[in-house]
Amino acid sequence: MHIRSVCMRDCYDTCFMKVIVEDGIIKTIRPDPENPITDGFLCARGVADSSRVYRNRVMYPHVNIGSKPKGNFMIVSWDNALGIIIRKFKEVLENYGSEGVLHLEYAGNMDLITWYFPQRFWNVIGAAKTDYSICSRSGHEGISLHYGLSYGVLPDELISMKLIILWGFNAAVSAPHLWMQLLRAKRDGCKVVVVDPRRSETAMQSDLWIPIKPGTDVWLGYGMARTLIEGDLIDKDFIERYTFGYELFVNEVMKYELENISEITGVSKELIIKFAEIYSHIKPSTIMIGLGVQKSVNGGETARILSLLPALVGQHRGFYYSNSRGFYVNVGYLTGEDLLLNKVRVVSQVALAEHILKGEFKFIYIYNMNPLLTLPGQKYLREGLLRNDVFVVTHTPHWNETCIFSDVVLPAPTYLEKTCITLPYSHNYVRISERAVEPLGESRDEVWVVKELAKRLNIECGLIYEDPWDALRKVLEGAVEGSFEELLSGKTLKLKYRPRDEYQTPTGKIEFYSTTAYKKNLNPLPKPVMKSLDNGRFTLLNTASPLYTHTQFWEVYGDPRPEVHVNPDDAEELTIKEGDIVEICSEDGCVELLARIDGSLLRKTLWVQRQIKDINGKSLNTIVPVETQLVGGGPIFNSVKVKIRSR
């Protein structure tokens, strides 16, 4: 039997798939050609889902009757587990109020019902929540300061491009189906330029690689802008008609001398000029802004300056970052935020460890996320969750690090065990994902659990009890090119997409000088954070792997190797050899990793795979600070300054 499915991973591609089921068991998963962007092949993760669904599963409710994090879990009934949760819940609400409760979730499953609808319960009771800043928010907010919303070029349009710039975007690994679109364009003569501190898999296949020192992208963006303006390589008519604040932007641009930019970025003046001239002369083009490039001290500011370059050469939203804000889908209705008058406390997701360590939350409910590996400040987060006055519930399909810091662990189904709909954040093709197999063990979905909690708390708010599919109808009807019934029947539809020449700013134009930023007391023009860029230390970069989505698929491919990649000249200077155990220390702590000598890196730059643990099982994020960016509150994963030495 073939089941039509859609991958629910936190990934650009959102692949359509066919799940092959025999006797109620998933045998294999194949690509589905109905989606023109993702047809033809599946990545290693998509293929592995056929086995991961059966590995390392939480099959029954468990209560921790030992001491955390070396607890002894005992299987209990759902009734008993919910009873324990409700007793603790009522105690916290009575003694600390709703602000003593925190719900913590993210994008482990991108299904609209799984992620968003359960938030209605937590919003109704007034629980605290995070600002969801751990991944892409700084880039979204930075671009939105100048454009109103952060959407740009659709993947369908990539094949018609003559120039594609991948800025901090290793698409060959992190977005293989978008990369296929680029390769198709490349076969038709499209030029590909990569800006990256590392000669990545994508850079190796490019026509031009711009090696740049980590964290200096804002300066290079200004160097591009200055070259375009001084060389009269701009589209004056476009600027006059569609932009605001150009003269103020020019005044700022002229503060950046190319010689100084070259010294800061490590990119020669000649290469900056060549890069700008290529960008001016070859059209249509797009700048693909990687999520990784905005996870740095200058991340939001980088997204700002890069998004403005297309306006100089006369292109409407000539960039790609993430297209989720280009769809007409009201997620606020699904979460209930648009329907409730009560204001809840919002805390930084990046700096959450500090809040938990201080004991600000007494009841923490976690689902759709594995924060005990993915959040910065792991030392503080773990200490906080081990407080005697903190009660933790985790609802998850698979056993993970977060479970052992929990008092109650509840079994959840995977996306292959329920019917789902997700919104892609690159292309705009949408289709229902049908349940492939029945939920394993006693797995219960996220909506069922919060409704049960609401019933036991005697909450009568109808918002919680609305059929989630009725809610989906309300947010998707009119947002797709077709009817909701067609979507339910299995038909592939397109999400309606906002025009690229529409700007949701106060002036209705692309704002070189952001009036919104001015009102928020932010810099109206992109401005790099003037921090020491080396100070004798190394910059630690971390990026995606083709085998894992964050901490998912360790059940299939094993724990990622605890390796750090080191430039050969740096290794020689420090007498580090291949395979040596090296200690890497930031101001927040140290980890021990195995050295890999890697000629693809610039000097004073280290690279590791995202979310790894060291040789002692310590999380890499132990050495990542809880520092946040000014724009969007995002993390600084790729600006961590470290020292390295042989152990």
The CATH H-level superfamily of 137-321 is: Dimethylsulfoxide Reductase, domain 2 (3.40.228.10)
pLDDT at residue 71, as a whole number: 76
Topology alike, domains 2-52 and 538-646: no
pLDDT at residue 195, as a whole number: 98
pLDDT in tens, 179-201: 999 999 999 999 999 999 999 99
Alpha carbon 249 to its chain's center = 30
pLDDT in tens, 25-76: 999 999 999 999 998 899 999 999 999 999 999 999 999 998 899 779 999 9
Distance CA 129, CA 136 (A): 17
- 532 pLDDT more than 80: no
- End-to-end, the C-alpha distance of the chain in Å comes to 55
Topology (CATH) of 538-646:
Barwin-like endoglucanases (2.40.40)
pLDDT at residue 590, as a whole number: 98
232-522-310 Cα angle (round to 5):
30
| Beta bridge partners of residue 642, listed in sequence order | 538
pLDDT at residue 74, as a whole number: 97
DSSP category for residue 337? T
Please tell me the pTM assigned to this model.
0.97
pLDDT in tens, 478-489: 999 999 999 999
Distance CA 39, CA 36 (A): 6
pLDDT at residue 534, as a whole number: 60
- DSSP assignment of 529-570 equals ----S-TTPEEEEEE--SS-BTTBTHHHH-SPP-EEEE-HHH
Distance CA 181, CA 263 (A): 35
Distance CA 585, CA 492 (A): 50
- What mean pLDDT comes out for the span 566-593? 97
Distance CA 379, CA 372 (A): 10
pLDDT at residue 259, as a whole number: 98
- 574 pLDDT more than 60: yes
Residue 535's pLDDT band (boundaries 50, 70, 90)?
A: low
The amino acid present at 637, given as its one-letter code, is F
Neighbours of 201 (CB within 10 A): 16
The amino acid present at 295, given as its one-letter code, is K
- 132 pLDDT more than 70: yes
Q: State the average pLDDT for the chain.
A: 97
pLDDT in tens, 363-385: 999 999 999 999 999 999 999 99
- State the Rg of the chain over Cα: 25
pLDDT in tens, 294-321: 999 999 999 999 999 999 999 999 999 9
In this structure, are strands 163-167 and 129-130 parallel, antiparallel, or unpaired? unpaired
pLDDT at residue 530, as a whole number: 73
pLDDT in tens, 277-288: 999 999 999 999
- 9 pLDDT more than 80: yes
* Domain 62-134+338-494 listed as CATH 3.40.50.740: yes
- What mean pLDDT comes out for the span 85-92? 98
Q: What does the longest C-alpha to C-alpha distance in the chain come to?
A: 73
- 149 pLDDT more than 80: yes
| Cα-based distances in Å from 633 to 129, 131, 133, 136, 629 | 15, 8, 6, 10, 5
pLDDT at residue 131, as a whole number: 98
In this structure, are strands 285-289 and 319-320 parallel, antiparallel, or unpaired? parallel
Instruction: Name the helix (H) or strand (E) containing 140.
Output: helix 137-147
- 390 pLDDT more than 80: yes
In this structure, are strands 429-430 and 493-494 parallel, antiparallel, or unpaired? antiparallel
Residue spans per domain, the chain: 2-52, 62-134+338-494, 137-321, 538-646
Which residue has 């977060």 as its token pair?
Answer: 402
Which residue has 């600027």 as its token pair?
Answer: 239
Look up the CATH architecture of domain 2-52: Single Sheet (2.20)
